[in-house]
């Protein structure tokens, strides 16, 4: 059985389903094949993000933050709630419900945009053909397409030294599904995933130890901001050990024994659960890349040019499977840009203005270059910063921690990077991205009125501080 399409997308995650929807909107006959299966073997569009990553983790982060605030902050606001109890099953049910709402929403969008959604495996056959095989193996068909898009995403990296057992040693997906709060929780990796998951379970009552092999905390973040965030996490009770190289992680009936090396000494820790959160790798399992002439690099990422073309004619790739920043919003923009390019439009993604967010408390957000990067590149620059301690809205929220740091070109004032830690900076990141997208200077921001009282006033103050013109904080003396 064979069917012809203009566009066939393999992968229904943040890169794939937007690419399919936009292609269909532009008049292409489009199909999207997705292989995702949840743990109960039910198929779902949306990939890792909607099913086992961005969305479920943010649901648990919000629930755990409310639980923590009810225990430790409500009385400061004059709210006496009595003894607070955790119903983890209800919390997990809420999380799962949110995921199902969003994944079913993708199916609705496919129907509305006339995208053919196929749940099962897609495999490249070469010569413009893709094999589709349903999960139960009962349906197999060959799809022919002028344009084939690889959007198969990524998967967690496993460690041979700490093999997953699905019970005591788990990856980031397994860490979202604990039915009980571990008394002692170990995490390998203090990156975005590690600190977010650590925050969830620490708030709910776990004693959390995060082991990070690198000597620097969040090296991709401006270090002034990263060090501030580390101080806050430490005060909250997260035990983040830098320069700690894990040697082995062995599961037993009672838990997990972890041996690691730090400061030239071997040390051992016992945990009830261990999360492996050391990053992600491209997912190209059973893709058929070799047969179709699609080249992969030494790490397994699909090689592409600036227009997402692979080494095989008529085959493209977008999202995590191509490398770079593994971010859902970047994948979405690439999928849409590719679809529009296939229709003859000149859409491009601005990779200099890709935001990154860590949804801890305080949150961390950044876009553009850090001070360390600017310095290394020999660019003349100047900086300004505004602490949330001086922000009225932050005080009202009882979250007057963190700051916003702005880095600008010394001569032109053009913004080179913005790094933030504090309350809801994930939302303030949009203004930062917009400023950089339009090539704004600090003067442009300084001349833009910001509502009072809002957290965004600190964004305004940081821009003013670059030139020593801040109003509500003391300006640093010019050197």
What is the tens place of the pLDDT at every residue in 264-292?
999 999 999 999 999 999 999 999 999 99
> Is residue 302 scored above 90 in pLDDT?
yes
- Pairwise CA distance, residues 324 & 328, whole Å: 12
User: What's the pLDDT at 254?
Assistant: 82
- Pairwise CA distance, residues 412 & 441, whole Å: 7
> Is residue 419 scored above 70 in pLDDT?
yes
Q: Are strands 129-134 and 140-150 parallel, antiparallel or unpaired?
A: antiparallel
Contact 287, 199 (CB under 8 A): no
Contact 291, 298 (CB under 8 A): no
Average pLDDT over residues 60-74: 96
Cα-Cα-Cα-Cα torsion 13, 186, 208, 264, nearest 10 degrees, comes to -120
Per-position DSSP letters for 356-387, written without gaps between them: EEE-SSSEEEEEE--HHHHHHTT--EEEEEEE
Alpha helices in 43-119 (DSSP H): 47-52, 54-72, 88-113
- Tens digits of per-residue pLDDT, 4-26? 999 999 999 999 999 999 999 99
> Is residue 1 scored above 70 in pLDDT?
no
222: phi then psi, degrees, rounded to nearest 5: -50, 130
399 contact partners, CB below 8 Å, separation of at least 6: 361, 362, 388, 422, 423
Round the CA-based radius of gyration of the chain to a whole number and report it. 24
User: Alpha carbon of 470 to those of 401, 414, 417, 432, 446: distances in Å?
Assistant: 19, 18, 19, 18, 9
Tokens of 275: 């999360």
Per-position DSSP letters for 115-128, written without gaps between them: -EEEEEEEEEEETT
160 contact partners, CB below 8 Å, separation of at least 6: none
**Residues 419-432 as b or e (16 or more Cβ within 10 Å = b):** bbbbbbbbebbebb
Look up tokens 């024994």; give the residue: 257
> Is residue 331 scored above 70 in pLDDT?
yes
What domains appear along the chain, each with residue ranges and CATH number?
2-156+281-349 (3.50.50.60), 169-278 (3.50.50.60), 354-466 (3.30.390.30)
Contact 296, 169 (CB under 8 A): no
User: What's the pLDDT at 252?
Assistant: 84
Catalytic residue positions, numbered: 452
Average pLDDT over residues 424-435: 98
Contact 455, 423 (CB under 8 A): yes
Across the chain, mean pLDDT equals: 96
User: What's the pLDDT at 290?
Assistant: 95
- Tens digits of per-residue pLDDT, 350-408? 999 999 999 999 999 999 999 999 999 999 999 999 999 999 999 999 999 999 999 99
Cα-Cα-Cα-Cα torsion 414, 444, 371, 244, nearest 10 degrees, comes to -130
- Tens digits of per-residue pLDDT, 227-253? 999 999 999 999 999 999 999 999 988
Cα-Cα-Cα-Cα torsion 167, 51, 204, 271, nearest 10 degrees, comes to 20
Average pLDDT over residues 75-89: 94
User: What's the pLDDT at 470?
Assistant: 93
- Pairwise CA distance, residues 247 & 256, whole Å: 13
- Tens digits of per-residue pLDDT, 457-476? 999 999 999 999 999 999 98
- Tens digits of per-residue pLDDT, 176-204? 999 999 999 999 999 999 999 999 999 99
149 confidence band (pLDDT: 50, 70, 90): very high
438 contact partners, CB below 8 Å, separation of at least 6: none
Strand ranges (E), 283-427: 315-317, 356-358, 363-368, 381-387, 403-409, 415-422
Number of H helices, E strands in the chain: 13, 21
User: What's the pLDDT at 479?
Assistant: 62
> Is residue 424 scored above 70 in pLDDT?
yes
Average pLDDT over residues 72-98: 95
User: What's the pLDDT at 139?
Assistant: 86
- Pairwise CA distance, residues 129 & 8, whole Å: 9
């Amino acid at each position: 059985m064979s069917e012809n399409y203009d566009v066939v997308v393999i992968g229904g995650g943040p890169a794939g389903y937007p690419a399919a929807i936009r292609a269909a909107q532009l008049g292409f006959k489009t199909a999207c094949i997705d292989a995702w299966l949840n743990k109960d073997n039910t198929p779902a569009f949306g990939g890792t993000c909607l099913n086992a990553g961005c969305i479920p983790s943010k649901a648990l982060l919000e629930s755990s933050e409310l639980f923590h605030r009810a225990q430790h902050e409500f009385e400061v606001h004059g709210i006496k709630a009595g003894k607070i109890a955790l119903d983890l099953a209800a919390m997990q049910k809420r999380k799962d419900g949110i995921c199902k709402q969003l994944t079913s929403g993708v199916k609705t969008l496919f129907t509305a945009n006339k995208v053919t959604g196929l749940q099962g495996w897609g495999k490249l056959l070469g010569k413009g053909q893709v094999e589709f095989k349903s999960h139960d193996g009962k349906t197999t068909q060959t799809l022919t397409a002028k344009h084939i898009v690889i959007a198969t995403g990524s998967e967690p990296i496993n460690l041979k030294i700490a093999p997953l057992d699905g019970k005591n040693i788990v990856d980031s997906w397994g860490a979202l599904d604990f039915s009980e709060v571990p008394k002692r929780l170990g995490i390998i990796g203090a990156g975005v995933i590690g600190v977010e998951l650590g925050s969830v379970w620490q708030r709910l009552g776990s004693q959390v130890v995060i082991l990070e092999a690198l000597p620097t905390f969040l090296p991709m973040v401006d270090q002034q901001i990263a060090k501030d965030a580390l101080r806050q996490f430490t005060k909250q009770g997260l035990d983040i050990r830098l320069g700690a190289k894990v040697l082995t992680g062995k599961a037993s009936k009672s838990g997990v024994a972890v041996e690691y090396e730090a400061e030239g000494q071997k040390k051992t820790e016992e945990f009830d659960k261990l999360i492996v959160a050391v990053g992600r790798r491209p997912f190209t399992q059973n893709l058929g890349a070799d047969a179709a002439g699609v080249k992969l690099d030494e790490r397994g990422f699909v090689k592409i040019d600036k227009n997402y073309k692979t080494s095989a004619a008529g085959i493209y790739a977008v999202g995590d499977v191509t490398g770079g920043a593994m971010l859902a919003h970047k994948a979405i923009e690439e999928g849409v840009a590719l679809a529009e390019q296939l229709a003859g439009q000149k859409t491009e993604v601005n990779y200099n203005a890709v935001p990154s967010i860590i949804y801890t408390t305080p949150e961390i957000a950044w876009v553009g270059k850090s001070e360390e990067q600017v310095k290394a590149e020999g660019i003349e620059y100047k900086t300004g910063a505004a602490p949330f301690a001086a922000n009225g809205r932050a005080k009202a929220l009882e979250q007057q921690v963190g700051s916003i740091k702005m880095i600008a070109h010394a001569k032109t004032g053009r913004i080179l990077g913005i790094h933030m830690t504090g309350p809801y900076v994930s939302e303030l990141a949009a203004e930062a991205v917009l400023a950089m997208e339009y090539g704004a200077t600090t003067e442009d921001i300084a001349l833009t009125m910001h509502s009072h009282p809002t957290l965004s006033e600190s964004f305004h103050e940081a821009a003013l501080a670059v030139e020593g013109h801040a109003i509500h904080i003391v300006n640093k003396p010019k050197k």
